[in-house]
Structure 1
Amino acid sequence: MKKFLILLLTLALTLSLTACGGDTTGGESASDDGSAEGTTYSFTVGTNTAEDSVNQLLAEKFKELIEERSDGAVTVTIYSNGALGGDAELTESCIAGTVDFIIGMTGSLVNYIPEAALFDLPNAFPDLATAREVLDGPILADLQAAYEAGGLKLFGYADSGFRVMSSSKAVRQMSDFSGIKIRTMENPNHIAYWQALGANPTPSDFSELYMSLEQGTLDAQENPYDLIVANKLYEPQSYIIETNHLLHTLNMVGSKATYDALPADIQQLVSECAAEAHQYARQMADERIESQKATIQDAGLEIITLEPAMIQEMADTASNVYDLVREQIGDELVDELLAQVETTSAAE
């Protein structure tokens, strides 16, 4: 069904008058100043997450802002819950220009944008404030260049806080990780991390996760509270372990082909609205987390907060992931990130 929907969308885009990868109507050409007065644009935004998620809130805010500020010249249709495909399908469709924008986690982009592996460094950020300041800083331009080389336009970063582990088994000390069957993304760095801790990582599609946990073919998974609650992943589980091993970094990206074909005024509008929507998503992530924890505890789960010494032991045990990432993208970007984290942390 997902592939059928993608085919229908592609056919519709091909048969319509097209500018910048999105449908256009109006028939007037761009003016001398690069604007497209009289032309209308219809964009698609795809996500692979439930509607009750920060991803969805980011998409809805972008839609609200750009439709309002364009005075109706731009309309946005949001496809949630993987309606246009899983992470890989969405990314490939966006690069090809058959889906205009997608919103997802950086971890799903590594096979397409190697530099996104920067966000696979365990415990790279000591807290959310540091992470957000760094990602809004000079390193953003370097990452935007890397995304463009891969056919995607990066507009900024949001997050859903840190990723935690849900499990049918308690984890209170390092030995408790041994043999736990945990679902991971199709990401070699994530797999290497859990292997280093002694767990048994099993990559699988997100759409299959709930059933695998319910049937007991998996013991555990790792995601931010936002997605755990939105997709009710806590229901088949008994514990939440606050591993906080990775920032759940979100980004809205667009097809570079789509964006480059837009007139200058629409490009500016897309960039401004997307940047504002990312900031809004961060705010909403912060506001939602306490109620999400309460939902999980009301369902009878125990939330285990690990001691700082154990968090450090986990980071030390999985330090080989840093070597893997350096092999994939070189030292320059890794060193730049770590230096900016250190500088920002020291200034706070």
Structure 2
Amino acid sequence: MKKLLIMLMVLVMALVPVACSSKTPSTQPTEQSGGQSSEGASGYDALKPVVLIGADNASMGAAAQLFGELVSKKVSEITGGKLTVEYYPNSQLGNDQELQSQMLAGDIDFVVCQTAQTVNFVPEVAIFDLPLVFAKYDAKTIDYALNKSPFFDKINEAYTAKNMRVMHYLQAATFRETTSNKKISTIDDFKNLKIRTMENQNHMAFWKALGAAPTPLPWSEVYVSLQQGLVDAQENATDTSAGANLQEVQKYLVLTHHILYCNQFLINNSKYESLDPLYQAALQQAVNEAAVEIEAKLATIDTENRQKLANGGIEVIELDNAFIDQMLEKAQGVYDSIGKAIGQEYVDTLQNALQNPQ
């Protein structure tokens, strides 16, 4: 009997390490494709699949569409299909203001759009309406100021207070330009120019300061309005103008450089915070990688679209520094009113970041 008990004790002691080892996962990562460890892969495997809904109001082939679609593709690849996007480009779900309203209501999750109409939701975004504020700087300097400097953190506080979060400002030191059926040779030629603008009070104030007659219209109505002479001109990035074939209804492209052509990746902040940190990181990685790819192409896209407009019969008019200075002088009141409305500290923080890049 005693011998039997000893044999049983030996058997139990032999089995204990086996049992323990079956409950203890290996801490050594296994190499995976793309450098991902098994720990990272199992992290996504442990999460429930999530589908985000994204949209833009851009013209076909414009930067916002390219950016949104590339982010959607990349985030699915990064997460192995666990975080995916249903993406609706080209105003399928509405214009910029409607899309941002839907995002705040939780009907869609993210929007890729320009900054102008965000001012209606986040007044501090009017900082981007300062005429010609970015005109003297290159893309690298502007990228630092907008995405990597203290200005980015400060402006995001204003977004998150309204349940939005900006994840990136996409730009390449290209600008909103002016197309017109009236030739602009002197500052006085802006007088009484009927120009379509976005529904943005600061944009309209700038054109009024030049003596023009700004007229906000939905983008979908611009081509017909130009064709029928209801307005004389419009202002937009060259990819938007070329994508809408405005060379068919406009005579001149005036390189006014008045507003930075900048698309923002906006997400509903409650939705963002509801995502697992792994998904948050994957989305930011997708945004960053897509931005690098698209921004590298934007200057070329701008040049190609200028050429497309010129090939369609539009005359390109370049403005010299003296002309730009005249525009700035007339627009000084817009600088004063924006600084007063949103707080001069926003203006100072942006200008400091532009003047002192790290």
- 2:137–2:354 contact (8 Å) kept in structure 1: no
AA aligned opposite 2:55: G
The structure with more helix, counted as a fraction of residues: 2
1:310-321 maps to which residues of 2 (within 5 A)?
310-321=323-334
Structure 1 residue 268 corresponds to structure 2 residue 294: no
Give the aligned partner of residue 121 of structure 1: 130
User: 1:21-42, CA deviations, whole angstroms, 9 ceiling, x for partnerless residues?
Assistant: xxxxxxxxxxxx9977241111
Contact 2:144 2:353 in 1 (8 A): no
CA deviation string 1:271-301 (max 9, x = no partner): 2212222232222212212211111111111
CA distance in 2, matches of 1:341, 1:74: 36
Aligned match of 2:54:
45
Q: Give CA deviations for 1:48-68 in whole Å, capped at 9, x if unaligned.
A: 112311111101110121010
Q: CA deviation at 1:236?
A: 0.3
Structure 2 residue 142 is the aligned partner of structure 1 residue 131: yes
SS in 1 for 2:126: helix
Aligned to 2:298: 285
Q: Displacement of 1:313 after TM fit?
A: 0.6
Ranges in structure 2 where 5+ consecutive residues have no aligned partner? 1-41
State whether structure 2 residue 335 is matched by structure 1 residue 322.
Answer: yes
Match of 1:19 in 2: none
Name the SS for the 2:258 alignment partner.
coil
Q: 1:187 aligned to 173, 185, 200, which one?
A: 200
Partner AA of 1:150 in structure 2: K
- What residue number does 1:156 align with? 168
User: Could you report, residue by residue, the CA deviation over 1:81-118 in whole angstroms, capped at 9, with x for unpaired residues?
Assistant: 21111111100111121111100001110010111101
Residues 187-196 or 78-87, more deviating: 78-87
The 1:36/1:266 distance shift into structure 2, 3 A limit, reads farther
Q: What amino acid is the match of 2:68?
A: A
Q: 2:80 aligns with which of 71, 74, 78?
A: 71
Task: Give the RMSD, CA atoms, in angstroms.
Answer: 1.6
Structure 2 distance, partners of 1:146, 1:278, is: 23
Can you list the C-alpha shifts for 1:138-157, whole angstroms capped at 9, x where unaligned?
21111112111111111010
- Distance in 2, matches of 1:276 and 1:142, equals 23
* CA apart distance, 1:319: 0.8
Structure 1 counterpart SS, 2:87: strand
Does 2:270 correspond to 1:219? no
State yes or no: 1:341 paired with 2:351.
Answer: no
The AA in structure 2 aligned to 1:121 is L
- Rounded to whole Å, the distance in 1 between the matches of 2:98 and 2:308 is 32
Q: State the alpha-carbon separation in 2 of the partners of residues 254 and 52 from structure 1.
A: 22
Of all paired residues, the percent bearing the same amino acid is 34
TM-score (norm 2): 0.84
How many aligned residue pairs are there?
A: 313
Aligned 8 A contact 1:36 1:263 in 2: no
CA contact (8 A) 1:194 1:201 kept: yes
Equivalent position of 2:251 in the other structure: 238
Amino acid at match of 2:170: A
Secondary structure in 2 aligned to 1:157? strand
Q: Which portions of structure 1, spanning 4 or more consecutive aligned residues, are displaced by more than 3 angstroms?
A: 33-36
Corresponding residue of 1:196 = 209
CA contact (8 A) 2:165 2:267 kept: yes
2:152 equivalent among 140, 147, 151: 140
Structure number with bigger Rg? 2
